[in-house]
């Protein structure tokens, strides 16, 4: 298909439909509302369902019901709305129900503002709700990747029977870029555990309750094995000009685009700088980070938050190299020059 110039929030919804998603349950919130608006327009045209739920809580529980019924189902929100959904995500993780949840991260805490932040890293990557669960988190940095990753998210969700987050921000959501859409998925295989309201599936049970501690421990062990398998097999990471790098930037999402420009600028000044960008935040590219730590002098982690991925970088390399940190919060995005200056001062120290 030829390329189409499209906004991230609109593109991701249409890509979800192409991925076979036919159910969308959501609640309006800036800056994610365009996804719901696009769903309201396109879902009925594609023979699917769009419901504007009465709350984020209801929306995620509709997702739970549709997922239990075997559908490919999507919801989207922004940070305060994601906080509200966490109860339902925990239940879905416990009942092992696949779904895709998009978070267009806005600035917090509280009502905050609608500008971009990456302050939901912990909320998404570390479980977020109650219980010993985690969810895969994919962080696109351009509209094309937003489109590609929503399909990947559905596949991961079903392969691993888990909710999967796409973590983007207002920039990715509002930005227009050329997109090439993949071929549509026209048929989905039947899930042997789901409820199709027929004789074959009626003995299936969707539940997260396990009264016996031993049974619940077994479920928890099973979940941890699942996360270990994800860590083993599903890490996605991009490295840019790291082959000969002495210093590396790390950052995800929109920040990585700025870092890429900063790498080019610093290279022009003769500094051997590279970039490692986690595409999956959970599972985190631990091995790749550790491998770089063998070769480089120091890291500079740049985030639009108070240093949340920073902790994972330090853990991954077991603090064998200095990990510097530069951040903006509250909805501010650093300029390329700002990052270059930060790099010049901390890489010199190292």
Q: Pick between residue 130 and residue 233 the one whose CB is nearest to another protein.
A: 130
Residue found by looking up tokens 């853990």 in the block: 315
Least distance between another protein and beta carbon 242 (Å): 16
Task: Give the residue with the Cβ less far from another protein, 71 or 136.
Answer: 71
Identify whether the C-beta of residue 308 lies closer than 8 Å to the C-beta of residue 117: no
For the bound state, the minimum distance from the C-beta of residue 31 to another protein, rounded and expressed in Å, comes to 8
Rounded to a whole number of angstroms, the minimum distance from the CB of residue 170 to another protein is 6
Contact predicate 342/265, CB 8 Å: no
Cα distance between residue 53 and residue 28, in whole Å: 9
If the CB atoms of residues 122 and 201 are measured against another protein, the closer one turns out to be 201
Tell me the closest approach of the beta carbon of residue 169 to another protein, in angstroms.
Answer: 10
Least distance (Å) between residue 142 CB and another protein: 8
CB count within 10 Å of CB 80 equals 16
Distances (CA, A) of 183 to 15, 41, 166, 211: 9, 20, 21, 45
Radius of gyration of the chain (CA): 20
Between strands 163-169 and 247-250, the pairing is unpaired
Distance of CA 27 to the CA centre of its chain: 19
Closest separation in Å from C-beta 86 to another protein: 11
CA distance 226 to 320: 29
Q: Which is nearer to another protein, 134 or 191 (CB)?
A: 191
Is the Cβ of residue 207 or residue 269 nearer to another protein in the bound state? 207
List C-alpha distances in Å: 223 to 60, 96, 214. Answer: 21, 9, 14
Kindly tell me which of 4 and 291 has the beta carbon lying closer to another protein.
Answer: 4
Shortest distance in whole angstroms from residue 186 CB to another protein? 6
**Which residue from 245, 242, 276, 244 is spatially nearest to 259, judged by alpha carbons?**
276
Nearer Cβ to another protein, position 121 or 181?
181
């Amino acid at each position: 298909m030829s390329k189409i110039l499209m906004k991230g929030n609109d593109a991701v919804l249409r890509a979800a439909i192409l991925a076979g998603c036919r159910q969308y349950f959501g609640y309006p919130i800036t800056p994610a509302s365009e996804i719901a608006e696009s769903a309201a327009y396109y879902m009925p045209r594609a023979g699917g369902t769009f419901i504007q739920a009465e709350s984020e809580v209801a929306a995620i529980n509709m997702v739970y019901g549709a997922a239990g019924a075997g559908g490919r189902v999507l919801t989207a929100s922004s940070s305060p709305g994601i906080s509200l959904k966490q109860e339902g995500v925990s239940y879905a993780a416990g009942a092992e129900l696949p779904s895709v949840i998009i978070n267009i991260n806005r600035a917090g805490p509280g009502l905050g503002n609608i500008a971009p932040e990456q302050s939901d890293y912990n909320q998404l990557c570390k479980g977020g709700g109650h219980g010993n669960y985690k969810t895969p988190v994919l962080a696109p940095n351009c509209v094309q990747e937003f489109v590609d990753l929503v399909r990947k998210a559905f596949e991961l969700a079903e392969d691993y029977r888990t909710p999967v987050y796409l973590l983007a921000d207002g920039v990715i959501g509002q930005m227009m870029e050329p997109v090439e859409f993949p071929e549509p998925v026209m048929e989905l295989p039947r899930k042997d555990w789901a409820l199709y309201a027929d004789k074959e599936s009626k003995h299936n049970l969707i539940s997260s309750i396990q009264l016996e501690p031993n049974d619940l421990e077994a479920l928890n062990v099973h979940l941890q094995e699942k996360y270990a398998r994800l860590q083993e097999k599903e890490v996605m990471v991009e490295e840019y000009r790291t082959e000969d790098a002495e210093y590396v930037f790390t950052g995800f999402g929109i920040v990585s685009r700025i870092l890429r420009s900063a790498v080019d600028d610093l290279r022009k000044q003769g500094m051997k700088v590279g970039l490692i960008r986690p595409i999956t935040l959970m599972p985190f590219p631990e091995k790749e980070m550790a491998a770089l730590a063998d070769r480089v002098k120091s890291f500079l982690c740049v985030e639009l938050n108070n240093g949340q991925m920073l902790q994972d970088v330090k853990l991954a390399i077991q603090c064998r190299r200095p990990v510097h940190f530069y951040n903006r919060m509250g909805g501010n995005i650093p300029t390329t020059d700002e990052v270059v200056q930060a790099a010049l001062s901390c890489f010199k120290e190292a």
